[in-house]
Amino acid sequence: MYAVTVRTRGKVVRERHESLREALVAMGRQAYLLEHADHTSTVGGRVLRRIEPVAQVVGRIELRGPRRLRAGLDVRGDGSTEAFRGRVRRSLIVQRRGESAFHALERELTA
């Protein structure tokens, strides 16, 4: 059993899937929606430090599965994404040339 958790702006949606393939399809669908949603603007200014959209995580899609599988995607305020493995100690998944973060995650998990 695989669990996909989508966190966006204070909302949490959880889904369960029987196979890794189904879970990855659901993650890809959610990532596409978040990447193409309205993006944020710079936060902060005079007193607070300025936080650019690329530094803001507007959505996180997490995958949990058997054998302590923990991975996910972070969608940034400018629409860019990063794939990672782990939960507490996260490590970024390196994207190959021309590869999206989702495809890098998929490659890493199905290898």
pLDDT, tens digit, 9 for 90 and up, residues 1-45: 999 999 988 899 999 999 999 999 999 999 988 887 766 666 666
pLDDT, tens digit, 9 for 90 and up, residues 46-56: 666 777 777 77
Q: How confident is the model over 99-108, as a mean pLDDT? A: 93
The per-residue pLDDT for 61 is: 95
The per-residue pLDDT for 78 is: 83
- Sheet holding 2-8: strands in order across? 11-17, 2-8, 57-65, 69-76, 81-85, 91-92
